[in-house]
Amino acid sequence: GESVGLHLPTLSVQEGDNSIINCAYSNSASDYFIWYKQESGKGPQFIIDIRSNMDKRQGQRVTVLLNKTVKHLSLQIAATQPGDSAVYFCAENVSFKAAGNKLTFGGGTRVLVKP
């Protein structure tokens, strides 16, 4: 498969350990945030989202934390598995007039799970 990017920061994690991926966003007007996972040769896959009126949201094995004070977002993956190996992107949304919105993606973090 092809690489999404040649110079992505990489997080190596042992299978079974927890992973934390961090993301700094730029726009204080962003009202909604999403984490995506992208495997080689595929489109981004939705993992979890959080609205700006929340600071934590949990899904299955994943937790997203939002700190609006420092414009920081993190994704925690519990008990990381080989299938979690991928590139992870955070995205921030700014809404315009009714049904108008724009997602801005971060540069991505490559997660490598070691067996």
Partner 1 sequence: DSGVTQTPKHLITATGQRVTLRCSPRSGDLSVYWYQQSLDQGLQFLIQYYNGEERAKGNILERFSAQQFPDLHSELNLSSLELGDSALYFCASSGTTGSVPNEQYFGPGTRLTVT
- Residue numbers of the site for partner 1 (CB under 8 A)? 3-6, 31-32, 34, 36, 42-46, 49, 89, 91, 93, 95-108
Write the DSSP assignment of 14-63 as a string of letters: ETTS-EEEEEE---TT--EEEEEEE-TTS--EEEEEEETT-SEEE-SSEE
Minimum CB–partner distance for residue 80 and partner 1 (Å): 23
Complex with partner 1: residue 18 or 104, whichever CB lies closer: 104
Complex with partner 1: residue 3 or 14, whichever CB lies closer: 3
CA distance 26 to 100: 19
Complex with partner 1: residue 67 or 104, whichever CB lies closer: 104
Minimum CB–partner distance for residue 17 and partner 1 (Å): 27
Minimum CB–partner distance for residue 104 and partner 1 (Å): 7
CA distance 115 to 107: 26
The DSSP H or E segment spanning 90 is strand 86-95
End-to-end CA, the chain: 21
Complex with partner 1: residue 20 or 105, whichever CB lies closer: 105
